[in-house]
């Protein structure tokens, strides 16, 4: 099992930038740190003690490749992989609060089901994009004509002439920020007001219909349909769209893709299905490939090749243009296989590096405005979803109840997090001004109680019984939570706690585990 050839090309491109900047990269992260890192990024949680020790004890030179392939392709991890990436894309497509409001037409469960099934079956990225842009059907699982993919657009097409569908589709999939050109030409990039309304014209045959509970006026679900568009002049043979310039003049737009490709001006679906034509043109665009590569690179390395990651074009040149082009082209040649792209990045040299700076790369710090050189691993905080799943792993318990029940528990927990700390998209993020330990102190509800309980059969009980000594138990505890050995001062603290607990090893471990789970280090991706 060999490292993919594409990894060598990534390494070469990144290393050439280090040479140009006379920069020496940080040392490679140790095995435990890398293992924790890749578990969090690929399946959304820290590894268990057994999983971590199995990797660190492995002496095979190909064990990194083997672990990545196992997490991506082994049936034991399929559900976790699918749930993790479905969560990421649900938040991206409809937001963390999407489908939560009773007035919303979006069904969050329907969106998640489509994405979960797609990632579990390794549906290729081009097909996922085509589904999301062209889907018709109902939003709610169990209803006639259910198609979970419609939940991306169902709440975006009716209001304000589908402008939200326009801006979201172009930004998420093509990395083209068009939202401010609805009313005026963009001051910095090539997007003009005309281009916005030409792109918008692709969505004008699409409507979201409310479907009511039988015999009531209560909305049960919604249905996304394609229907003929008469145009704003009332002539479906020439279904034009009007928009107003800032000087008050009115102009006309027809469906034209961002590269200038025109489609039939008819508004009759039987003549041309505008959304399907849009999806076809999107799949031909190099921006589709570059955008997903940029997004994936940012997921694994902390920063993309552009800032923001979803703003591509001549006005915002990438930090590593040749690498972005190569990865995008190879991803297309590899039939848009997301798992291949994920393997290339996680097995590359930049992903293997330690977060510790050296004398030559201290200025490689994007957090202070420097362009990323990827000469070290950039520390970042876990997402709320990763924290939840990692706390579940810390309990060592198997989740109980059906998938729906587990998801309801998870959603309630995450919703509390969003409300309290503003991790939702938008300006709310600035309201989080407490320290990480203070934040985690608030999480000491059921999850932390389960993680630190000392009853027979629990995680700490099993750790005590399978370790040779209290010192060995503490060592494995630190590996499980932080992917490192305890320091000498931490060992001394454990000894003092052992004495304070009158020799009760499980009580000492409970105290140490609580401190680990409430530390800055635990919720950092390092």
Q: Please report which residue ranges of 25-184 form alpha helices under DSSP H.
A: 31-43, 49-57, 63-73, 75-94, 108-120, 125-134, 163-174
Give strand ranges (E) for 336-396. 380-381
pLDDT tens-place string over residues 402-460: 777 777 777 776 765 554 333 333 333 323 334 454 455 455 566 677 777 777 777 88
Find, among 247, 352, 295, 290, the residue nearest to 34 by Cα.
352
d(CA 390, CA 85): 15
Q: DSSP assignment of 249-269, as one string?
A: -EEEE--B-TTS-B------T
3-state secondary structure 270-316: CCCCHHHHHHHHHHHCHHHHHHHHHHHHHHHHCCCCCCCCCCCCCCC
pLDDT tens column, 323-381: 999 999 999 999 999 999 999 999 999 999 999 999 999 999 999 989 999 999 999 98
Is 50 exceeded by the pLDDT of residue 30? yes
Q: Read off the pLDDT of each residue in 1-6 and give the average, rounded to a whole number.
A: 91
Q: What pTM, to 2 d.p., does this model score? A: 0.92
Q: Do 341 and 12 form a contact (C-beta atoms < 8 A)?
A: no
* 58-94: pLDDT as tens digits: 999 999 999 999 999 999 999 999 999 999 999 999 9
Question: Quick one: pLDDT at residue 191?
Answer: 59
Q: What is the predicted pLDDT for the residue at 444?
A: 58
Total residues belonging to the chain: 526
């Amino acid at each position: 099992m060999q490292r993919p050839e594409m990894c060598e090309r990534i390494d070469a491109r990144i290393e050439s930038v280090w040479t140009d900047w006379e920069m020496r990269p940080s040392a490679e992260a140790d095995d435990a740190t890398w293992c924790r890192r890749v578990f969090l990024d690929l399946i959304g949680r820290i590894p268990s003690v057994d999983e971590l020790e199995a990797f660190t004890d492995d002496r095979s030179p190909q064990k990194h490749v083997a672990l990545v392939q196992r997490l991506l392709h082994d049936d034991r991890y399929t559900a976790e992989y699918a749930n993790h990436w479905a969560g990421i894309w649900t938040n991206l497509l409809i937001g963390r609060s999407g489908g939560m409001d009773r007035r919303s037409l979006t069904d969050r469960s329907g969106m998640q089901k489509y994405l979960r099934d797609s990632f579990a079956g390794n549906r290729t990225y081009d097909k996922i994009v085509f589904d999301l842009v062209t889907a018709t059907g109902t939003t709610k699982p169990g209803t006639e004509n259910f198609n979970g993919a419609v939940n991306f657009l169902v709440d975006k097409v009716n209001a304000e002439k589908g402008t939200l569908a326009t801006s979201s589709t172009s930004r998420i999939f093509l990395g083209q920020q068009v939202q401010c050109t609805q009313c005026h030409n963009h001051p910095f990039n090539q997007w003009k007001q005309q281009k916005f309304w030409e792109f918008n014209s692709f969505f004008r045959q699409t409507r979201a219909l409310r479907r009511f509970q039988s015999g009531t006026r209560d909305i049960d679900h919604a249905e996304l349909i394609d229907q003929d568009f008469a145009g704003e002049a009332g002539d479906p043979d020439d279904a034009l769209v009007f928009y107003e310039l800032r000087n008050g003049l009115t102009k006309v737009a027809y469906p034209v893709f961002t590269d200038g490709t025109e489609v039939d001006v008819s508004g009759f679906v039987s003549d041309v299905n505008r959304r399907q034509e849009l999806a076809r043109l999107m799949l031909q665009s190099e921006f589709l490939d570059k955008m997903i590569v940029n997004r994936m690179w940012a997921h694994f390395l902390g920063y993309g090749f552009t800032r923001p990651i979803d703003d591509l074009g001549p006005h915002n040149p990438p930090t590593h243009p040749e690498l972005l082009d190569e990865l995008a082209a190879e991803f297309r040649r590899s039939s848009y296989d997301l798992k291949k792209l994920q393997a290339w990045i996680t097995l590359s040299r930049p992903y293997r590096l330690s977060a510790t700076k050296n004398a030559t790369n201290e200025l490689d710090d994007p957090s202070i405005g420097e362009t990323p050189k990827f000469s070290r691993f950039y520390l970042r905080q876990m997402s709320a979803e990763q924290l939840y799943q990692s706390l579940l792993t810390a309990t060592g318990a198997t989740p109980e109840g059906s998938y729906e029940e587990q998801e309801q528990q998870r959603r309630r927990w995450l919703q509390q997090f969003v409300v309290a700390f503003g991790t939702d998209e938008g300006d709310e993020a600035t309201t989080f001004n407490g320290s990480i330990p203070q934040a985690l102190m608030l999480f000491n509800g059921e999850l932390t109680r389960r993680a630190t309980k000392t009853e027979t059969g629990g995680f700490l009980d099993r750790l005590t019984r399978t370790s040779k000594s209290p010192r060995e138990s503490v060592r494995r505890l630190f590996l499980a939570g932080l992917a490192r050995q305890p320091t000498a001062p931490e060992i001394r603290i454990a000894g003092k706690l052992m004495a304070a607990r009158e020799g009760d090893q499980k009580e000492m471990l409970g105290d140490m585990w609580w401190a680990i789970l409430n530390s800055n280090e635990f919720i950092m991706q390092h």
